[in-house]
Amino acid sequence: MEMVSFPSKAYGQFYEYDSYVILYTNKIRNSFTYDLHYWLGKATSHDEQGAAAIYTTMMDEHLGGMAVQHREDQGYESDTFRGYF
């Protein structure tokens, strides 16, 4: 599995056979907060689910462990997640 960028014009378009990692960054004064969401489609494979979770953890480590991680299952997304789109 490989992580790839998603074009901004396609933000908010998710496919049930895929998994996605979404980083939301918010600047408050001179610091940043990070929310990492990994979205799992209804029909995504176990391999893709695992890869999304691993990439989320790796990205959090890259951010110094400062991110809040959220799992988002298709059809049960949080209000916060839906608010991004």
pLDDT, tens digit, 9 for 90 and up, residues 38-83: 999 999 999 999 999 999 999 999 999 999 999 999 999 999 999 9
Helices (H), 1-85: 46-62, 79-83
- Confidence at 10, pLDDT banded by 50, 70, 90: confident
Find the mean pLDDT for residues 11-35.
Answer: 94
For the cut 80, the answer to whether the pLDDT of residue 3 exceeds it is no
Q: How many CB atoms lie within 10 A of CB 37?
A: 22
Q: Tell me what pLDDT residue 1 has.
A: 67
Instruction: Please report the beta strands in 1-85, taking only residues with DSSP state E, as ranges in sequence order.
Output: 19-28, 31-40, 67-73
Distance CA 72, CA 34 (A): 16
Q: Where are the domains of the chain?
A: 17-83
The fold for domain 17-83 equals: Severin (3.40.20)
